Amino acid sequence: MRRNLQAIESPAPFEDKQHASLITLSHRNVRPNVFHNCWAEPSTTAIFRWIRGELIGKGSYGRVYLGCNANTGEILAVKQVELPKKQFEQTNQQMEVANALKFESETLKDLEHPRIVRYLGYEESPESLNIFLEYVPGGTIESCLFQHGRFSEGLTKSFTSQILEGLEYLHCRGIIHRDLKAANILVDHSGNCKISDFGISKRVDQLEAARASTGMKGTVFWMAPEVVSPPKSSGYDVKVDIWSVGCIVLEMWSGKRPWAGQEVIAVMLKLHKDRLPPPIPKDLHLSELAISFRNSCFASNPAKRPMAAELRRHPYLTPVPDWSF
């Protein structure tokens, strides 16, 4: 562990040393063996010392580092956004990234489900914003596809069922993820999936109110047509996540991202004008049940797409006999 927890950037304010951090912890979301000396009531702060380790991921909404609770030795993931030294140096993009991280913290702190990455705390300092999350050691579905190629039918069904289980939980609480893709699904060494990256999710008090959402948020190759071109009267709702599930399943079937080989602008035009789903690669042969599942996810009319709870019951997702991870 020492080797993995060495600092990787010389200018970093927390490199290669322990430091006291004020972190808001929700006691409901912390297991007894994690931060066991930092129990606190919601909306209060608790102090513990942590070490920042190597970079394990990065994206448009920050970087993710391996971390260690110096009091307990527990490994965790630290999603970090660095802040400019002077307020006037902050760009609109930096403000957007910082706000996304704060929103992600606000969203995650109230969630508790085995298919959702577990929230451990939040820290805001003059140098950076940090979210503390459970560390999921197996990487993402995307990284697994990159290393091993397309998945077997048994593995695809298992992962899809788990994603839909997490999605059902989110949608019942009025949360649209809006950026579901293989890169945002974490996998542990036992084959358990966890949905992550809630920086651009949409939270509403009532599920039907989600139809007011009209912003084009997400990653184009996984976007539903109504996100690219939302109806003026109704916007879009949780069904955009169902379209994205279809894209993830296509990734697992083929080992390639949806719309492989096509450029962003061309894909946006096809979604806007023709409301087309990503095509099936020529070398991919699907069963009738698989095609039926795909068609359910990619119904051009979102009203005809099933909710996550209904899609979980699709015959295609019947487990493969004697299959195990």
At 268, phi and psi to the nearest 5?
-60, -40
- Measured CA to CA, the distance from residue 134 to residue 8 in angstroms comes to 21
86 in a known ligand binding site: yes
Q: Six-digit token pair at 21?
A: 């951090």
pLDDT at position 67 is: 96
pLDDT at position 58 is: 84
User: For residues 23 and 158, which has the higher predicted lDDT (pLDDT)?
Assistant: 158
pLDDT at position 233 is: 55
Q: What is the percent of the chain where pLDDT is above 70?
A: 78
**Which whole number is the average pLDDT over 106-118?**
96
Q: What is the percent of the chain where pLDDT is above 90?
A: 66
pLDDT at position 152 is: 97
Average pLDDT, the chain: 83
Statement: residue 153 has pLDDT above 70: yes
- Measured CA to CA, the distance from residue 94 to residue 82 in angstroms comes to 9
pLDDT at position 308 is: 98
Single-letter amino acid, residue 216: M
**Which whole number is the average pLDDT over 218-228?**
93
Count the Cβ atoms, other than its own, within 10 Å of residue 317.
Answer: 17
Statement: residue 33 has pLDDT above 50: no
* Lowest mean pLDDT across 41-55, 184-198, 265-279, 291-305: 41-55
**Which whole number is the average pLDDT over 203-228?**
72
Instruction: Find all residues with CB under 8 Å of 148, minimum gap 6, and list them.
Output: none
Instruction: Find all residues with CB under 8 Å of 264, minimum gap 6, and list them.
Output: 220, 221
Residue 283 annotated to the active site: no
As its CATH architecture, domain 50-134 has 2-Layer Sandwich (3.30)
pTM: 0.82
Given the residues 16, 179, 205, 241, the one annotated as active site: 179
Instruction: Find all residues with CB under 8 Å of 236, minimum gap 6, and list them.
Output: 210, 211, 213, 214, 224, 226, 227, 230, 302
Residue ranges, comma separated, of all CATH 3.30.200.20 domains in the chain are: 50-134
Give the number of residues written for the chain.
325
pLDDT at position 37 is: 28
CATH topology for 139-317?
Answer: Transferase(Phosphotransferase); domain 1 (1.10.510)
Say if residue 148 is exposed, middle or buried (CB neighbours under 10 Å; 0-12, 13-18, 19+): exposed
User: For residues 10 and 176, which has the higher predicted lDDT (pLDDT)?
Assistant: 176
Residue ranges, comma separated, of all CATH 1.10.510.10 domains in the chain are: 139-317
Statement: residue 206 has pLDDT above 60: no
User: For residues 233 and 216, which has the higher predicted lDDT (pLDDT)?
Assistant: 216
> Of the candidates 133, 130, 136, which has an alpha carbon nearest to the alpha carbon of residue 120?
133
